[in-house]
Amino acid sequence: MNRIPVVIATPVLAYLVVHLLFLASATQAGNPGTPHYPDLQTLPPNSFHVQRDSKTGARTLFFSNTIANLGQGPLRVRPVNNATTGTTDAYQQVLTHDANGNWYLYAETKVGTFVFHPAHNHWHFEDFALYELRDVAADGSIGANVITSSSKISFCMTDSYSVDNSLEHYSPRTYVTCSQNDLQGISVGWADIYGWSLPGQSLDVSNIPNGTYWLVSTADPDNLIAETNDANNTGAVKIQIRGNNVKVVK
């Protein structure tokens, strides 16, 4: 089954386009016959709010997350159902093309596993993102102390939103389904958006004092995926939490 649809407000779409076009401005495609790797880039989380459970008093910070591919080639992961181990292994397929622009497989490497996600009712690639709430360093930058964090989040990787059709290897929407036997991935110039209302898009902030923090999202935190650049996988935003209220601060 397909992922639950995500409804995104127009201002958020404009935010995505402006930031991702800026990030993509230096991207150049590789030569024919060379490996064309993806380049995962994470936008600062957005569309967040705090919700308090009326019965338990627990507070949860919800937010949306966006991971784009602004690289030379698609992120493409093939599921292989392993009857011996009972797992569904995940193999990254790196592509290249000939001088006429015809794509073909360059290399394939095992990069992890897929798991069935009952809350979303489809298959996810494991350990694809990590969410953290960090302190603010003395100079205002992201601090070293992790106040709270998620477990590593699994994703159904799809082309959710087109962000830059000017990239040389931009393609029409390709990755759209999440069944056990489907290729998953993010095409060049597309982003995978997980809205705040989806399961897993939150942090427990019940015991977090009011204050200012950095909300940090990192794609592929274990560097399982081969990319052109692992240094730009993190997006962060400084937020102020006051009771059930949260806002962006500078």
Q: pLDDT value at position 44?
A: 94
Grade residue 64 by pLDDT with cuts at 50, 70 and 90.
very high
pTM: 0.86
Counting residues of the chain whose pLDDT is more than 70, the rounded percentage is: 88
Residue 7 pLDDT greater than 50, yes or no: no
Q: pLDDT value at position 23?
A: 53
Q: pLDDT value at position 4?
A: 35
* Span 212-240, average pLDDT: 97
Residues 234, 220 contacting (CB under 8 angstroms): no
Q: pLDDT value at position 86?
A: 77
Gap between the Cα atoms of 30 and 12, Å rounded: 31
Q: Where are the beta strands (DSSP E) in 83-169?
A: 87-97, 103-117, 122-136, 142-149, 153-155, 161-162
Gap between the Cα atoms of 148 and 232, Å rounded: 22
Q: pLDDT value at position 17?
A: 53
Gap between the Cα atoms of 185 and 194, Å rounded: 14
* Span 88-96, average pLDDT: 96
Residue 25 pLDDT greater than 50, yes or no: no
